[in-house]
Amino acid sequence: MSDATGLERLLRRDRVITGGGLGVLLLLAWLYLLAGAGMGMSAWDMTTLALFPHKAGELMAGMAMPAAGEAGGMRASGWTAGGWALAVAMWWIMMAAMMAPSAAPTILLYARVHRHASPRQPGLAPTAPFAAGYLVAWLGFALAAAGLQWSAQRLGWVSPATMSSQSRWFSAAVLTATGLYQLTPLKQACLNHCRSPAAFLSRYWRPGLTGALGLGVRHGAYCVGCCWMLMALLFVGGVMNLAWIAVLAALVLVEKLTAGGRRLGMAAGALLVCWGVATVFV
């Protein structure tokens, strides 16, 4: 009887177990990024502070500089299969590191809702399939981002050495487009789902493991729709630039979890448009 009671207590600690799992995932993802994500350089070496990163990129465009990902097969002359895998892994794990904090409330709430919705089902809530579905959605983004990075490097818009913009027009276009997207109804609609996890779970709830996986994919898709243009800003400041990564992760967190997040996100959009216009003239 005591063993059964102890097991029951353990199974009811979904929130603690889920929170601990998310914490471990977040820690491992950030350690991977800090170690350089297989780029052959420390992330600290790829981190610079510049209001107009393309200016430094323009200066280095004609210089013989070792590419950050060259050791992993991401050469300027062409990517190997290993280079593609490295790029996708880098983007995917980076997204996990940046998005997990803002997704944590929904994942934790899912565990609680499942406990109340399925009181007769023993065992832990299927939060792992839910989180896995969320990450699957970001894997789709990582595949697209790696393809865009390859294309931008081939066109000479992004430096293979710093993985940041070396074209003022490319920088201006990304900054302006991101700023305008922040103000669109599509952005606001996706943000609504991210800011209202209880309403999201109530509307799209499905039971079972496959239901949890599908629910996670759907939530991840809304999250991608909300933040994909913000993530594109990394092509301007540097894909592995820790300063830009930290600022964008903080902006996403504030947008989704604070009372004034929506207004701050729209203000950031207006600022990005002004930044994009200013970039053309420097």
- Tens-digit pLDDT profile for residues 145-197: 999 999 999 999 998 888 899 999 999 999 999 999 999 999 999 999 999 98
Q: Where are the domains of the chain?
A: 2-280
For tokens 């002004």, the residue is: 274
Over the stretch 29-42, which tens digit does the pLDDT of each residue have?
Answer: 888 888 888 877 77
Q: CA torsion sign, 126 to 128 to 132 to 134?
A: positive
Q: Residue 270: its pLDDT value, please? A: 97
More confident residue, 47 or 85: 85
pTM (predicted TM-score):
0.85
Q: How far apart are CA 278 and CA 102, in angstroms?
A: 31
Tell me the average pLDDT across 101-106: 88
Cα–Cα dist 165/278, whole Å: 15
Say whether pLDDT at 71 is over 80: no
Average pLDDT over residues 219-234: 96
The first and second tokens of residue 280, run together, are: 């053309």
Per-residue model confidence (pLDDT) at position 1: 45
Q: How confident is the model at residue 64 (pLDDT cuts 50, 70, 90)?
A: very low
Is residue 248 over pLDDT 80? yes
Say what percent of the chain tops pLDDT 90. 51
Mapping DSSP onto H, E and C, the string for the chain reads CHHHHHHHHHHCCHHHHHHHHHHHHHHHHHHHHHCCCCCCCCHHHHCCCCCCHHHHHHHHCCCCCCCCCHHHCEECCEECHHHHHHHHHHHHHHHHHHHHHHHHHHHHHHHHHHHHHCCCCCCCCCHHHHHHHHHHHHHHHHHHHHHHHHHHHHCCCECCCCCCECCHHHHHHHHHHHHHHCCCHHHHHHHHHHHCHHHHHHHHCCCHHHHHHHHHHHHHHHHHHHHHHHHHCHHHHCCCCHHHHHHHHHHHHHHHHCCCHHHHHHHHHHHHHHHHHHHHCC
**CB distance 171 to 54 below 8 Å:** yes
pLDDT of residue 265: 94
Does position 119 have pLDDT exceeding 80, yes or no?
no
Q: What is the dihedral of CA 86, 90, 96, 102, to 10 degrees?
A: -160
Instruction: Indicate the average pLDDT of the chain.
Output: 84
Compare 68 and 142 and report the one with higher pLDDT.
142
Asked if the model's pLDDT at residue 83 lies above 80, the reply is yes
- What are the angstrom distances between the C-alpha of 44 and each of 138, 214, 242? 25, 37, 7
